[in-house]
Amino acid sequence: MRTVWLNGEFLPEDEARVPIFDRALLFGQGVYEVTPVIDGRSCNWPHHAARLARSMATARIADQTDWPTVIAELIARNSLSEGRVYLQVTGGAPADRDFLSPHEPVPATRFAFTQVAALIDNPAAHKGLRVILHPDGRWALRSAKTTQLLYAVLAKEAARDAGYDDAWLVENGVITEATSANAHIINARGVLVSHPVDHGVLPGVTRINVVAIARAMGLEVEERPFTPDELFAAREAFISSAGALVTPVVEVDGKPIGNGGPGTRTAELRQRYIALLKAG
């Protein structure tokens, strides 16, 4: 049975309990991070830590957990070689439900758990993803990694119902991001185009590295929104995230992207990123 961590204790997963008055449960006042694990070691933590701090500040949550120590112990106790660690911090559990946080702050609720997943030999990296375009109906505050993920769930389920792998979200005529990943294209000129990091998208940790790798490869990078027409005319398309790393997108709304298979630039970006993670 998996060991999880909750408020300072390592517990069997079936013994972990969160109170019904927790503010993440009642109001969505919770933030989270997901860090990839490769060769039994978490990756990119400084970037994740910085984003977690920004998310907590936005959600008005205070916490000083020593997450690197917790994450390392969770990986060891669960003998995790490859996968991810999910952690969540909430506004805590006061004595009763009230929209306003208590005048006397309550301790944050904190928990974390491991998940086994094939990150490097993920089949999707070899065959590519098929996605649909879907209206972006999320709330406006997207730069914080909060637990308000209902619309992402609905969009993912709409894609599955249509026989696709995922959805790319469209707002005001441009692509914002995928349901749980940043979205990118390599256009006909060989330029990597990625939505700028602002309130419209999540500042992805993997995205930070991918953009740097692309520039090191000599690719021109344009951080700007791109349209569905640009997507359909692109040579390649891909997503980046902690769980997917860099994964090609080969079909959108039934139309092939480029030659309909994973692109060579995307494959190189993925391999270089994996090498970076392994080098640690």
| Number of alpha helices (DSSP H) and beta strands (DSSP E) in the chain | 8, 15
Q: What is the pLDDT of residue 233?
A: 98
How is the chain split into domains, by residue range?
Answer: 3-116, 123-279
Query: Which neighbouring-strand residues pair with 85?
Result: 35, 114
pTM above 0.85, yes or no: yes
pLDDT tens across the length of the chain (280 residues): 999 999 999 999 999 999 999 999 999 999 999 999 999 999 999 999 999 999 999 999 999 999 999 999 999 999 999 999 999 999 999 999 999 988 888 999 999 999 999 999 999 999 999 999 999 999 888 889 999 999 999 999 999 999 999 999 999 999 999 999 999 999 999 999 999 988 789 999 999 999 999 999 999 999 999 999 999 999 999 999 999 999 999 999 999 999 999 999 999 999 999 999 999 7
Q: Any idea which fold 123-279 has?
A: D-amino Acid Aminotransferase; Chain A, domain 2 (3.20.10)
Distance CA 85, CA 35 (A): 5
Domain pair 3-116 / 123-279, same fold: no
Dihedral sign (CA 208, 214, 218, 220)? negative
According to the model, what pLDDT value does residue 139 have? 86
> Which CATH fold topology does 3-116 show?
D-amino Acid Aminotransferase; Chain A, domain 1 (3.30.470)
CA distance 247 to 244: 6
Exposed, middle or buried by CB within 10 Å (0-12, 13-18, 19+), for 267?
A: middle
Phi, psi of 79 (to 5 degrees): 50, 45
Closest CA to 129 of 35, 245, 272, 10: 245
